[in-house]
Amino acid sequence: MRIVIANDHGAVELKHRLLAWLQAQGHEVVNLGVDTEVRVDYPDQAVLAVQEFRKGGYDFGIVCCGTGIGISIAANKHSGIRCALIHDSYTARMAKEHNNANFVAFGGRVTYHEPVEQILATFMAAEFEGGRHAQRVAKLDALC
């Protein structure tokens, strides 16, 4: 898969962890995030990820901030982006199967009860179910 990732200062360690795991799995990852804890604004990082994603050729994007909340809100302000703040394998699977999420968000200061790699692997293995969910996703996309 080809993936874009961006983060702010609140998720540097988490971004490195995800990046290393994805690359070890053989995925191509374009890293737009920061590598230090010098303060940057998460809306700006979300914009970078969305702009890169819109160039095409990406399977999905990952955005990370301290909680994942702010950066997911920022990503979702962009037409056609469906960013899900996932926190376990169930929400990861549902984000793809029911919402056809094309971005996921994580929090660098959040304690996860499953390894984030497992959560991300679940999202990546899931497929959009379509059917009744396609109409709902179309409604989401029409909101922007």
pLDDT digit string (tens) for 35-72? 999 999 999 999 999 999 999 999 999 999 999 999 99
Question: What pLDDT shows up at residue 44?
Answer: 98
Residue in 9, 27, 87, 98 annotated catalytic: 98
With 90 as the cut, is the pLDDT of residue 144 above it?
no
Which fold does the domain 2-143 belong to in CATH? Ribose 5-phosphate Isomerase B; Chain: A, (3.40.1400)
What rounded mean pLDDT belongs to the chain? Answer: 97
Residue in 9, 64, 65, 78 annotated catalytic: 65
Q: How far apart are CA 8 and CA 30, in angstroms?
A: 15
Question: What pLDDT shows up at residue 143?
Answer: 87
Contact 21/120 with Cβ under 8 angstroms? Answer: yes
pLDDT digit string (tens) for 79-101? 999 999 999 999 999 999 999 99
Contact 74/47 with Cβ under 8 angstroms? Answer: yes
Residue 65 known to be catalytic: yes
Q: How far apart are CA 79 and CA 144, in angstroms?
A: 5
pLDDT digit string (tens) for 16-42? 999 999 999 999 999 999 999 999 999
**Residue 124: which pLDDT band, with cuts at 50, 70 and 90?**
very high
Residue 83 known to be catalytic: no
**28-31 and 60-65 strand pairing:** unpaired
